[in-house]
Amino acid sequence: MEAKPDLTSRPVSDSISEMVELVLPNDTNPLRALLGGRLMHWIDIAGGLAAHRHSRSFVVTASTDHLDFLLSAHVGDVIILKSSVNRVFRTSMEVGVKVMVENYVTGELRHLSSAYLTFVAVDSEGRPIPVAPVIPETVEQRRRYEDAGRRRGIRRAEAARKISARP
């Protein structure tokens, strides 16, 4: 029998995670540019870390609903992924991941990518479980909290549209 989840509200700061990766030749295409799929993999891991830190449970990726590739990274660049929970619904959480690329030699930082992912907290059998509410602490966190609610509405409307369009 599993313990009941702790549903005490937690601040966004409890979920903040940072991951650093070095772009190696195996992570790149023939032009020595970082593969988009490799970056997506790292984003999923970074997002999952934030969701786990907040929910204190197993989490599974439900969706990646927005991902921009703003520029490329190359062999030798350092990739910095910062993630945090934007908003909690009942069993799901929207997590934002911001990706920066740091030039290994100059230290110059540039915004490489941003993504929004939805994770669902699950028990050891894979069944969804409730998640504690998140408390935004800063103006920026409150903006992301409100934006996450709007994105959820868009996701739900799109899901309903797909269902109604089935033959």
* Residue pLDDT, tens place only, 118-153: 999 999 999 999 999 999 999 999 999 999 999 999
pLDDT-based confidence at residue 4 (cuts at 50, 70, 90): confident
Long-range CB pairs of 124-127 (<8 Å, 24+ gap) are 124/2, 124/58, 126/58, 126/60
pLDDT for the residue 1? 55
pLDDT-based confidence at residue 105 (cuts at 50, 70, 90): confident
Q: What number is the average pLDDT over the span 2-21? A: 90
- Ordered domains of the chain (ranges, CATH): 10-164 (3.10.129.10)
Strands 134-135 and 10-11: parallel
pLDDT-based confidence at residue 164 (cuts at 50, 70, 90): confident
* Residue pLDDT, tens place only, 35-87: 999 999 999 999 999 999 999 999 999 999 878 899 999 999 999 999 999 99
Phi-psi region of 150 (alpha: psi -120 to 50; beta: other; left: phi over 0): alpha
Q: pTM above 0.85?
A: yes
Question: Among 1-5, 54-58, 88-92, 132-136, where is mean pLDDT lowest?
Answer: 1-5
Give percent above pLDDT 70 in the chain.
98
